Each structure stands twice: as structure tokens, then as C-alpha cells.
Amino acid sequence: MNKGSFLSKALGTILLFSGFTIGLHSPLAIAADYKSEYKMSLVLGPAFPWGKGGEIWADLVRERTSGRINIKLYPGASLVGGDQTREFTSIRQGVIDMAIGSTINWSPQIKELNLFSLPFLMPNYQSMDALVKGDVGKDLFAIIEKQGVVPLAWGENGFREISNSKKEIKKPEDLKGMKFRVVGSPIYNETFSALGANPTQMSWADTQSALASGAVDGQENPESVYAAAKLYTVGQKFVTVWHYVNDPLIFVVNKEVWENWTPQDREIVRQAAIDAGKQEVVIARKGLIEANQPAWKEMEQSGVKVSYLNSAEHALFVNATRDVYAKWKNQIGAGLVEKAEKSIGSAK
């Protein structure tokens, strides 16, 4: 081998090697390990604040990763056949890559999330904020993380108000014998039973037709859900704004999916979740935090009778559900509930 060809071979090897190295570290090579689509599970689609939050999150991630992470929305809990109470298990198992889920739907797997379903725990938005932004929120994220799911940010479904097709509700006796659709955690059955009603557990997917057919008389959901689903068109003409619970939303990613992303991309996804969560909360509270709650005023224009409780009426509902609260305080963990009570007390 002459000197010239040796040099050119050596140069070729160096070029080949450095080219290989560059190739490995280029964004394209990394993207090759990524899925072409990440599946995001949601119960409600972009017509609702919840799904809008999902859309914002997915869009921010796509923009900020230049398309390396491409997320598709699957509303209607369609990845679990509409059974929203199975969503959390499917995220753990990797059937779902990421999700924005309600604490109610995940509480069958994580009992501590029933905290937000304790009747009349949170009197207002300040108490909700105090919980999710404070130590309670941190504790709950640690619990979720231990279950193998990575929590990133909080959003909000909203204060859940009661509606029905029969009559105005102002006191617990008014619920007597009425059939109510409730969501998938036993605490709702117990709360409605304590109020003298006849609760029946049902997924959201089945709820609208059950209301339309009269199989159930009433339901409970935030104003944004009531309005976007036009529940007044399926006979739900009576609403009582009683603020008995508020379900936060949690933005999460499956752990393996998370670990497969570069640290830089993880940070992008986390920050996008935080940004989307903030925007989603603003959308969810629109028309509800202003004086006179214009969102409910608008429903009145659709022929809905919207009722509010004075403090004496409110106290009757609190008293009627006191035993449920006490029982579930222990189930959830008295320590966590006391921390939440304290946090709410100092937020007032």
C-alpha cells in the first residue's frame, strides 16, 4: 500500500466514523426510535374544555418538538371501549401512551383521588387551587408516580352541579326516590343514597341516551359539560348550583413512553402540559368565576331553571352527607384529608 492510498483510506475511515456518530445523535436518528403516533386518551373531546386542553397540549408538543412527538386525541375513552374507569389501568399497561383524566375516573385504582369527591370539601375555586398547587397536589403526584404513571400537570373539569328532569331541588328530601346517573367511584353511590336518591353507576358514553329515554331522572356534571352536551335538550331542565365536588384533571404519560424520550423532549412535554393545563382551567371557569355566573344565566335563556342554595339550605346537604364524608375520610387516609382541610382553611 502506498502512502497516498493509506492516507485516503484513513481519511475515509475517519469520515465514515464521524458520519456515523453524527447520524446517531441527529434528531432524525432519535426520532426513528419514537412512535409515529402517541395515543392520548380523554373522556371529552375538544368541544369541551377538557378536550380543548388535550388539543392545546398536543399542538404545543408538536410545534416545540418540530413534529418529533406526534400526538393523536382519542376522546370518548375510546381506547378502553368507553369504560372510563379502566383508563388508568390501560395507561399503566401501555395501551394508552398519555392521557388527561379526571380524578373521579382514576379513583377506583388510586383511592386517594377520592379526596376531591368528598362531599362539600371545597367551597370555592381558591380551595381547589390551594389543594392542587400545594402539598396535597405534590403528595398525590408522588402516589401516581409510584403506580408507574408520570404526572405532569393539573387541569380542571369543574364544580359538579346537579340537574334533573322532574323538579327544583332545594333540600335533600327533593331527591327522594329520583334516579340519578353517577360516575364510577362508590363514594358517589353512597353520597346520593345518603340524600335519599336512587343512584346508578354509568359511563358518560351511556349517559346521554339514558337521560333522553328517561331511564334516569338526573345527573351531575360541571356547567361546561352540561352546556356543551346540551343536556337541556334531553329533559334536564332543573339545575341546582350546589358546588358539592370539583374534579381536577391530571395530565400524565405512560412511564416507558416517558423514559424513551430524550431529557430535552421530556422537558418540552412537561412544560407543554403545564401551559395547556393553565389555559384549560381558564376555559373551564369561563362564565363561572364572574359575578352572577353568566354561563348559568345563558342556560336560563334555553329554558333551564337554575337554583342556588342559601347557607341554611346548603347546611342541610352538608349534614345529610356527613357520614359519607367521615367514612371516606378514613378510606382515603385521614392524614391526607386533614392536610387538605388545613390547606383549604388557610386559603379562605
The answer to the question of residue 221 lying near ligand X2X (CB under 6 A) is yes
The answer to the question of residue 43 lying near ligand X2X (CB under 6 A) is yes
- Name the phi and psi angles at 216, rounded to 5: -125, 155
With CB under 6 A as the contact rule, which of the stretches 101-109, 120-128, 293-301, 340-348 interacts with ligand X2X?
101-109
- Looking at residue 117, what DSSP letter applies? G
Q: List CB contacts of 190: < 8 A, sequence separation 6 or more.
A: 324, 327, 328
CA 40 centroid distance within chain: 12
- What grid cell was written down for 321? 352527607
Q: List strand residue ranges (DSSP E) for 68-125, in order.
A: 71-74, 98-102
Q: List CB contacts of 156: < 8 A, sequence separation 6 or more.
A: 49, 128, 246, 247, 248, 249, 280, 281, 284, 285
In whole angstroms, how close is the CB of 43 to ligand X2X at the nearest point? 4
Q: Which of 41, 65, 84, 114 is in the footprint of ligand X2X by CB under 6 A?
A: 84
The answer to the question of residue 44 lying near ligand X2X (CB under 6 A) is yes
Number of residues that bind ligand X2X (CB under 6 A): 12
Q: Which of 104, 169, 197, 250 is in the footprint of ligand X2X by CB under 6 A?
A: 104
In whole angstroms, how close is the CB of 105 to ligand X2X at the nearest point? 5
The answer to the question of residue 288 lying near ligand X2X (CB under 6 A) is no
Q: Which of 41, 105, 224, 240 is in the footprint of ligand X2X by CB under 6 A?
A: 105
Measured between alpha carbons, how far is residue 218 from residues 65, 181, 204, 238, 246 in Å? 44, 6, 13, 9, 18
Q: 341: buried, middle or exposed (CB in 10 Å: 19+, 13-18, 0-12)?
A: middle
Q: Is the separation of the CB atoms in 88 and 57 below 8 Å?
A: no
The answer to the question of residue 240 lying near ligand X2X (CB under 6 A) is no
Q: Which of 113, 144, 225, 288 is in the footprint of ligand X2X by CB under 6 A?
A: 225
In whole angstroms, how close is the CB of 168 to ligand X2X at the nearest point? 22
In whole angstroms, how close is the CB of 89 to ligand X2X at the nearest point? 16
List residues near ligand X2X by CB under 6 A: 43-44, 84, 102, 104-105, 157, 183, 204, 221, 225, 247
